[in-house]
């Protein structure tokens, strides 16, 4: 497999990203999941067997409301990891997204690092992945590459601006509208770790993608990764930039969002999944935490952890007196002073 500049960058991203998780050096921006407290439901009046964890999105019924988020692909090493993650997704019956496939469109010998996910998980729900500037021709190619069920178009202004070789022009909306209109599969618009504001949510509601992946801060931080890759020689430092996953979910509610939401960014426990669903997410996904768990242990231990999440979900739903996702979103909760202040400011910013 060719070791081009781009494949080398993919491997650098993998190494730097997993090191941040392994060393617990991810930066906390704004409100975290700990800023949302659950209220006890002393009389749930239900049984664990009453819980339904399924969620329907894209005309597909997901058995579990969480999946493996986009991470990697585009080199020999990352192709191997994609294969392992696909096997994990198959065993645990959860969906999976691949990392950006743009490199494979430029270098055909790297296609196999993505195709492996469909080979290892022939019947699973797979998300393709491309940048928001790619025309419909490329979108179709990325979908066909892995026989994808949906595609994430990622928007990553912050990451590009930190990169010395990154893009400096961002005219995306017309192209996104064209892709949404012509794509053969559902289109999700996805941030890559900096969250979304009310104004962004309102723009997306006009564009009507199949869903919004909010990509909140407090997970893998590509501003930090790119600065480390460049040995901190980037012209800008935006390590603390963005809105967290919790803040973006709440902002979406304040902005009267009507589109399905996928919560990504700093998901590292089943409790985080529950809180995200409580705050309005339809699906929840984890990337960096799962990748680090795989890299620091093995497939078997990762499978065991994800199965533990699945076993815990009905128990936590029952704890909160919720039989399903809709019930969870109606449950009482407490917000910290920090998060309450954020909500107050967001409401006052309404135009």
Q: Give the CATH number of the domain where residue 170 resides.
A: 3.20.20.70
260 in Cβ contact with 57 (< 8 Å)? yes
Selection from 29, 31, 8, 79 nearest residue 221 by Cα: 29
Q: What string of DSSP letters covers 300-318? A: HHHHHHHHHHHHHHHHHHH
Residue with tokens 């700990």: 34
Q: How many helices (H) and strands (E) does the chain have?
A: 15, 12
Q: Is 19 exposed, middle or buried (0-12, 13-18, 19+ CB in 10 A)?
A: middle
Find residue 62's DSSP bridge partners: 55
What local confidence, expressed as pLDDT, does residue 47 receive? 98
pLDDT means over runs of 10, the chain (351 residues): 56 59 73 97 98 97 96 82 96 96 93 96 98 97 98 94 87 98 98 95 98 92 74 75 97 97 96 98 95 89 97 98 97 97 90 52
Using an 8 Å Cβ cutoff, are 162 and 213 in contact?
Answer: no
pTM for the model stands at 0.93
CB 290 within 8 A of CB 342: no
- Look up the domain containing 322 and give its range: 5-348
- Number of domain units in the chain: 1
Kindly report the number of other CB atoms within 10 A of residue 3's CB atom. Answer: 10
Q: Which of 265, 71, 31 lies closest to 152 in space, CA to CA? A: 71
- Which pair of structure tokens corresponds to residue 313? 């979900």
């Amino acid at each position: 497999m060719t070791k081009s500049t781009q494949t080398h960058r993919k491997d650098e991203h993998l190494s730097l990203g997993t090191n941040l998780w392994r060393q617990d050096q991810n930066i906390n921006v704004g409100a975290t999941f700990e800023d949302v407290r659950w209220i006890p439901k002393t009389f749930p009046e239900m049984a664990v067997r009453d819980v339904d964890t399924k969620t329907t999105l894209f005309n597909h019924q997901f058995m579990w409301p969480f999946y493996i988020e986009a991470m990697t692909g585009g080199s020999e090493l990352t192709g191997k990891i994609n294969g392992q993650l696909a096997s994990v997704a198959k065993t645990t019956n959860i969906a999976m997204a691949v990392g950006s496939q743009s490199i494979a469109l430029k270098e055909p010998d790297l296609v196999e690092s993505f195709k492996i996910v469909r080979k290892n998980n022939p019947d699973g729900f797979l998300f393709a992945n491309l940048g928001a500037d790619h025309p419909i021709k490329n979108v179709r190619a990325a979908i066909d590459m892995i026989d994808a069920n949906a595609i994430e178009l990622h928007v990553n202004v912050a990451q590009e601006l930190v990169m010395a070789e990154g893009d400096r022009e961002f005219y995306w909306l017309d192209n996104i509208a064209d892709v949404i209109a012509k794509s053969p599969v559902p289109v999700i618009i996805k941030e890559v770790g900096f969250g979304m504001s009310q104004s962004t949510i309102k723009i997306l509601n006009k564009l009507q993608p199949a869903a919004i992946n909010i990509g909140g801060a407090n997970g893998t931080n590509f501003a930090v990764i790119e600065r480390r890759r460049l040995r901190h020689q980037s012209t800008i430092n935006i390590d603390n930039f963005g809105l967290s996953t919790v803040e973006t979910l709440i902002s979406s509610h304040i902005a009267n969002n009507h589109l399905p939401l996928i919560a990504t960014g700093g998901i590292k426990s089943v409790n985080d999944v529950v809180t995200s669903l409580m705050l309005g997410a339809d699906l929840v996904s984890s990337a960096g935490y799962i990748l680090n768990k795989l890299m620091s242990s093995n497939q078997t231990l990762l499978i065991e952890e994800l199965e533990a999440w699945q076993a815990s979900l009905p128990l936590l739903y029952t704890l909160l007196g919720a039989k399903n996702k809709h019930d969870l979103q109606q449950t009482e909760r407490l917000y910290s002073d920090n998060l309450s202040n954020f909500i107050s400011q967001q409401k006052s910013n309404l135009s």
